[in-house]
Structure 1
Amino acid sequence: MYAIVRTGGRQQKVAEGDVIEVDRLSTNEVGDSVELSTLLLVDGESVTSDPWVLAGVKVQAEVLDHHKGEKIRIQKYKNKTGYRRRIGHRQLHTQLRITSIPTPTK
């Protein structure tokens, strides 16, 4: 059984026991439980994509860690003007473990 969930403006395919990285969830501490909204649910033979049925299905996840991603180096350059800029960025991430995916009630 797996589900497609939405978090942080992105969609991810998850199954029970998976560990995923999402954008930082600043309101949650390590060990807290989080609910993720479900867009699609596949249970063996049946595929559920009805928004009315999936409105009641929330995937449960546990917060494992908060950390920073890899550094991205950005360089700007304009020819013949002496303009050079170098900046970096490290995205903040939250690591989640999927604990349960409930079956929809029809």
Structure 2
Amino acid sequence: MAKITFITQDKETITAEANSGSVMELAVNHNVRGIDGDCGGVCSCATCHVHLQAEDMEKVGRPNEIEADMLELDDNVSEHSRLSCQIPISDALDGVVFKVVN
């Protein structure tokens, strides 16, 4: 089981646990402000944009080409950006902190 922390734009910290699904689904299920997931997780809206700490990028992995293209449309993209709908929950994510962009 992975324990994942979200930090909202309002500096609210929400920690949740899961062993399946996506990071976006976990955030939506725990009412994390700024993670909307308008497209339902099909990588077409970027309403689940998050930033990671540099050291966590290896655990989470880099975006694929489709995700990278979608991220390029967001003004707040960085080298540590990901769409949380594209990150499957796994034990490797235990302790990862996601900063909500929106």
On whether the aligned pair clears a TM of 0.5, the verdict is no
Q: Which has the higher helix share?
A: 2
Q: Which has the higher strand share?
A: 1
User: Which is higher, the Rg of structure 1 or of structure 2?
Assistant: 1
TM-score (norm 2): 0.32
